[in-house]
Amino acid sequence: MLTSNSIPHEERLIFALDVADTERARQWVLQLGDSVHFYKLGLELFMAGGYFELLDWLIAQRKKVFVDLKFFDIPATVQAAVRRLSQCGASFCTVHGNQAIMEAAAQAKGNLKILAVTVLTSLDRGDLDDLGFECDVEQLVLSRARRALEAGCDGVVASGLEVARLREFIDHRLLVVTPGIRPVENRPEDDQKRAVTVEQAFQNGADYIVVGRPIRKAPDPRTAADNIQRSIAAIFSA
């Protein structure tokens, strides 16, 4: 079931700028041009320096920005961080943690949309066993989504494998951002264990997809991004 949330189809693709430095990130943005309108900035770039200068530059380029730093600290600290970030022009940011942390973030968000992380797409049943979770992945995702909704978050980050049940459980009251997108079956060395294709993610009800390596490692990255955009346009115009 496609999402009923109204979003320009060209913004549904979020490109993960998981590169070593901000100069390389700028090169990617210029190379991809108008094939990508939304960018995710994660921890690797944060540690490289110049993170917020890059954010400002992206906004000046009329791009949307997803700050994926997965805030997880005492509620007052997370709230202060979100309050500062809400003044920077970013569209999304991620938070981890319990009810109090998510509530604190939601109270300070302003126009920033808060996305609660459910279960990382790099984790499988064995990883959850190691972390001490006795419930299955789907139950954990649904529980965290319910808590995110109650806390005032705007959306969740969840694998496309769980999106269909999420839509049954919370309908369209939360945005769903789906990482771990792979155009073909995972290779053994891939760290995304719960991956889906572009079509599967959206048919299951995702609002946005996050794509990194399938574009970065393509022989022609801009063509790869354009192809994904055409697929998205076809899905939502059918």
Q: Which residues are catalytic?
A: 70
Q: CA-to-CA distance for 166 and 158, rounded, in angstroms?
A: 9
Q: CA-to-CA distance for 117 and 176, rounded, in angstroms?
A: 10
Which residues fall within 8 angstroms of residue 62, CB to CB, at 6 or more apart? none
Burial class (CB in 10 A: 0-12, 13-18, 19+), 164: middle
The residues facing 14 across adjacent strands are 38, 210
Burial class (CB in 10 A: 0-12, 13-18, 19+), 70: middle
- 3-class secondary structure, 148: helix
